[in-house]
Homo-oligomer: A and B are copies of this chain.
Amino acid sequence: MAARLDELDRKILVELQRDAGQSLDEIARRVGSSKTPVWNRVKKMREGGVIRQQTVLLDAEALGFEACFFVLIRTSEHEAEWQAAFLQALRDRPEVQEAHRLAGDIDYILKVRVRNARAYDAFYQALISEVKVHNVTALLSMEEIKSTVALPL
């Protein structure tokens, strides 16, 4: 699964992460190459799944999403059927931005972005009515100190 990329590929990815809107010529100039090789490599990395998606990052607060919670979940259920239902519930809820299954005594962590505390409560009530969880701790973010999707290539 680990793609073999050379230094030029990595430089291209750094540029795309920084600004996916810039032209091929500009990227080529910055990485010390020219248009065609950059284009061929980008195409290959898209097809190979290294580049997954091109998107925009929005200002959550400006759009009214003023609350962000990290949710720690412990469960006693570990059967396949329960897990499938739980995963599907998370995937279906758009306010869940991240969901990870963990090692250790906490089983799952979620990042949930909602308009306000009331919206979080609605989410929480809906979730626990759908699937049985043993223990839930919600951590409320007071301040987003840093947020990036860029990998440190």
Q: Which residues of A contact B (CB under 8 A)?
A: 1-3, 5, 13, 16-21, 48-65, 68, 70, 87, 90-91, 94-104, 106, 108-109, 111, 113, 139-153
Contact = CB atoms under 8 A, between A and B. Distances in A.
B143 A101 contact: yes
A90 to B, nearest CB: 6
A153 B91 contact: no
A55 B100 contact: no
B60 A99 contact: no
Contacts of A1: 61-62
Contacts of A49: 59, 62
Contacts of A2: 61-64
